[in-house]
Amino acid sequence: GIDVAVRIGELPDSNQHAIRVGEVRRVICASPRFLATFGRPNHPQDLAQAPVIATSSIGQLRSWPFLVDGEPLSVRPEPRLVVTANQAAIAAASLGLGFTRVLSYQVAGKIAAGELEIILADFEMPPLPIHVVYQGGRNAPARVRSFVDFTVKALREHPALRR
């Protein structure tokens, strides 16, 4: 019953048509004020005992993955605060309550405004692709194809979805 979807993440094999429109990073961020007080971590392991704001909505309570010298490393921070929505975690981090892990597009405005800073960027996992997914390909109804064309153009032009 769904005509068009926007998918963040790798695509499973399917009979649906997909157009890649960008990518997002999984980033760790904190407010400049918090970083001035707590310090800037140099390695993902530094987060193990750090004040962390976790989001339960996407399973982030377990561990945060990183790449260290090309090898995967999983850090299991002990959250000081657990929220159910990424926007709540972003708000708490902006207030200086700790580090949080979210998708780069979710904090692009706060990064640009200087309210948050990305840390440990050299240890990030590869970016996640973003696709517009729909059934039917060229045989899709005109209304679906028109919406897909509009959405693809808008997302490809969005600065937060580019590397």
Question: How much is the pTM?
Answer: 0.87
pLDDT in tens, 20-46: 999 999 999 999 999 999 999 999 999
Give the pLDDT confidence of 9-20 residue by residue, as tens digits: 998 877 789 999
Closest of 18, 47, 25, 45 to residue 34, by C-alpha = 47
Q: Which helix (H) or strand (E) holds 157?
A: helix 142-157
Task: Calculate what percentage of the chain has a pLDDT beyond 70.
Answer: 96
β-strand 117-119 against 26-30: which pairing, if any?
A: antiparallel
**Cα–Cα distance between 61 and 76 in angstroms, integer?**
8
Give the tens place of pLDDT for each residue, 113-141: 999 999 999 999 999 999 999 988 778 89
Q: In what order do the strands lie in the sheet with 52-55?
A: 79-83, 52-55, 99-103, 26-30, 117-119
